Structure 1
Amino acid sequence: MSSPNELPPAIFLDPWLTAEGDGLKALSQTIAERVERQISSNLSQSARRDAISRRGLVVENLVANLAIMHLSPHLENRDLLAVATAKTKATRYDREDYPKRLLSGVVLAMEELGLLIRHPYAFRERSTTVAPTPDFAATIDRQRVKLSDIGRALGAETIWLNARTGEISFADRTPLKCRIEYQDTEETILLRDQMERINAYLNQSGFRFDGEHQGPVCLRRMFLLRSLSDPHSFNLSGRLFGGWWQELRSDRRHRITIGGERITDLDFQGAFCQLMYVHLTGKPFPGDPYAIEGLEDHRGGAKLAMLTLLSRRGDLKRLSPELKAALPRGWTAKRLMDAFTRHHPALRDAIGKDYGVELMATESRIMVELLLTLKARGIGAMPLHDGVQCAASSGGLVAEAMQEVTERVLSVALPVVEKPVVGQEWGYKEAA
């Protein structure tokens, strides 16, 4: 058995996935029947029928999760599925009709049938994780299961609220968070309605990878409280997560099409830094915010450094492993602080003040407003945190909408640029 530290990161079980296509339905039914034969029961006939139905739901959901993990291009080399089997009180984030207490037994039965490889729960290190056996993965392929065969039950929560616990991750020194149960208000109902409209629009926008549908889209907004004791509010972070294109490697994005067209990747130039400048000075930075002396060939490192400096509390005293790897050899926290404050003296007093989650809230508000604007105009676009991917023929219209929305939200239009997509040639470069 592998030790916990030797296992790659897992993706979390999505209890809302279902089998829709005939091939996946047939595979789920066959496995459910095998699971029932594996699990003996002394229940009455009516109780047994109920148990079979509920176990069948769990089997179908597990098979759908394993299929999407096996087939999705953005989950390449990620073949562990985390299945939390602990008995916990149901919250607004849970699927009400999902018989979670049956999950552990179904996982064990599927392991005994040679369908799963199971890695048991490790205290404070990981949930129970499973992976399809090579034979089961081959069965998914033989059944010609496609991502379009995977559906989604209605009702998943799209407005999430987390809180910092006050503890720090030992691995990367980031604040640990926990999920918060909250009561609905007019604000949360409005936020949820926006996401329902956005998700419906995204699912009708003709997104494809290598010409294949990639399964149902259900984005969620992730809000944050700085402390467990803070009143429940939805004015920090709020970024959109859950789109398969958000995790796709950049060198594979040229294989995306929207409505049959290649994509254009449009970005608010230096969005994070620009939002800080607008907040402090009322206008964007006049130039490239990431043209930091000494980091000309490490633009990714400059962007990560800006995010780090504006998102932390207190001075930066040491580089995280991720940031250190993104910077030139020999750079220290002090050298980084000095380089940034020389290029951005106006931001000197903003560093270390935990502005990041406030900037993300503004960024996400802009993105929601942009998506609703594009929906109204019938233009499909894939949201990233600080930009969108759209069909090439819509690039000019989308860039104009991006500037229009930022002017409406910020009273100033942010510059929009086109980012190169590896494997494509480009014409459009910058919005007027």
Structure 2
Amino acid sequence: MIVLWTDALLFLLVFALLGLGLYLRGKAHLHRPLQKITSSKTGMVSLLVLVFFVVVALLDSVHFKSDSDTSNEIISLIDYWATPLRSQSEKTYSAPFAFTLYGKEMMLQADGSTQWGYPRLVFGGRHLQDPDTQHLSDILQKLLLALGQGALLAGMVLLLIVGLAKLSRATGLANPTSKTLGAVLFVLIAVLYALIYLSGFYHVFGTDKVGEDVFYQAIKSIRTGLVIGTLTTLVMLPMAIIFGILAGFFRGWADDVIQYIYTTLNSIPSVLLIAASILVVQVYMSNHEADFTSVVVRSDTRLLFLCLILGVTNWTGLCRLLRAETLKLREMEYVQAAQALGVRQGTILIRHILPNVMHIVLISVVLDFSSLVLAEAVLSYINIGVDPTTYSWGNMINGARLEMAREPIVWWSLSAAFIFMFALVLAANLFADVVQDAFDPRRALRD
């Protein structure tokens, strides 16, 4: 098993969140906001979609060396399970569910003559004997069969969940939120199964310029988007929390120094700073080629440094919010009483200030996640993002931008990246709105 830096940090973050959830489970002051989140249909459906993306990213973060490959390539569990998709490459572009290439070529016939036309794909639709007459009916039959099998699988999963809930005596299975969540889970499993089933016979999202399956690229890009969003947050949170609280609580020279730091950092164009940092990383890897013999290791190192750079350039906004909130909290009666009683300043910061600013931290983290995912797409589009060999939605968009001007237009790579990125960002934004409403103290007073 091979453990990359981003793999270790991603699993560490997941375990830390699970531990934090268990620790905060019995806290009375969190009962109302958590109940408000669980009672929201929008919030729970968005959380379900986010969990789906997280599961895919975690499976894609378990790396090992392929024994069957003579090159001893480093692959993930997603790569292993999707071996047919990543190995069955075509010559070049093919449209979704097509059985021929997208462009005409000169074809050599069996009798030695040549003909100008659309060559058959090597893998897509190869089971068709007469594709001109069987193509559409075959797709419809396999789609109905896949949806039926997917619905059966989804029903079994839901029955298992209901059975486990009854054994644990969980309540609330009959409320409207649980019914909506069950319906969305049913549709999600059925559609996902149908896509996986159909991908064994066709390229459901077509192929790119080098003939690689676009559906496989979009699935592999999920990990990159989540790593950018989560690990960047892991980098920016300590700096934002520590500097923001210290600036607001101590004021004076400490406040002046911290304000000077983040004001100076904000004065530097972030794109230029990221570009310069990526260039430094590339020069370092070029000068130490012995330490980066694998393409996967090189791309993972660049991805890690991109997270570090984005974290360093994005902590200032949250720091400002925490400084302003701390300036207000330090004047509250309970903080003044603690200072009058001689409580140490470190204890006041940990017990009185930090817990009362965590709602701002939580809301900002969820809101910033979607912007970081979009930032990766923009940076990769201008070639200063992740490594070109890394699967990401930004690289897919960058690769498809030149093909949008050709005739006929190649639209499926851009569409696939848009659909997956739109689903992730929309789910994150909707869940952020629910979290913001639940943890907003002013809404709590109105309720």
TM-score of the pair, normalised by structure 2? 0.20
Q: Which has the higher strand share?
A: 1
Structure showing greater Rg:
2
TM-score of the pair, normalised by structure 1? 0.20
Instruction: Identify the structure with bigger relative contact order (alpha carbons < 8 Å, sequence gap 6+).
Output: 2
